[in-house]
Amino acid sequence: MKFIDKLLIAGKKNKSLLCVGLDPDPQRLPIKDVLDFNKQIIDATADLVCAYKPNLAFYEAMGVKGMQILKKTVAHMPREIPVIGDAKRGDIGNTAAAYAKALFDYYKFDAVTVNPYLGYDSIEPFLNYKTRGVFILCRTSNKSAVDFQDTVDNFGMKFYESVALKAGEWNNHDNIGLVVGATYPDELKAIREMCPRMPLLIPGIGAQGGDLELTVKYGIDANKEKAVIVAARQVLYASKDQDFAQAARRAAMELRDSINRIRGL
């Protein structure tokens, strides 16, 4: 099954555009066992999400044990829920091919995030996995995104707009999506207009301050789908106590339902 089909099926079944970011910080967890924490979060929210998104940095920071936790976390996911590996990889030649092999064949992610700065040949090995999703960084949610992404070329086009156009040209297998931050709603709106059929992975609500209503309004496609709205800290750390899983469920349900109200469901 193609990633986009799996995403849409999960979204319809759970009536959800919510993606929970599984980014565990051992210093903030109410229990010591990171894998058990992840499992409890997944079990508590699996009927409320369209996807999960573990960020590899949080697991790499724990060394070999962390990478083992990541693999076991992915294995624990319900088979019908897509998993997006937030790796932001970007390299060329055999290195890019090795990254793609690791993320898709070893960790078994349904989709990954990639950095387009090195151009097409840095992304091609990922795209060759035709049933997997590839989310290209386009307009990221951080404050310093303006340093490069707002740079204007000789034709008056901003860099992030060029990325969006190139993504459309490269989308021969219909497996490309774009990462667009909720913290830049005007840019989100412009990118959705440029790429009306692509899935958009949208971080930045909650702790980063993105406006949920504008995110939903500008991020969804004509069918009120294909916006993958990410929440991590506000779900994972909804409680610092032993009721963290129940609190995570309540936070996820509130977000899911708020998103649905905004999209008129």
Q: Enter the tokens of residue 34.
A: 């990171």
Calculate the alpha carbon distances from 178 to 65, 93, 188, 209, 235 in Å: 31, 22, 10, 20, 23
What b/e sequence results for 236-259 when a residue is b if at least 16 CB atoms lie within 10 Å of its CB, and e otherwise? bbbeeeeebbebbbebbbebbeeb
Q: Is 212 exposed, middle or buried (0-12, 13-18, 19+ CB in 10 A)?
A: middle
Phi-psi region of 14 (alpha: psi -120 to 50; beta: other; left: phi over 0): alpha
Query: To 5 degrees, how large is the angle CA 137–CA 115–CA 228?
Result: 35
Under 8 Å between Cβ of 215 and 202:
yes
Under 8 Å between Cβ of 263 and 224:
yes
Catalytic residues: 88
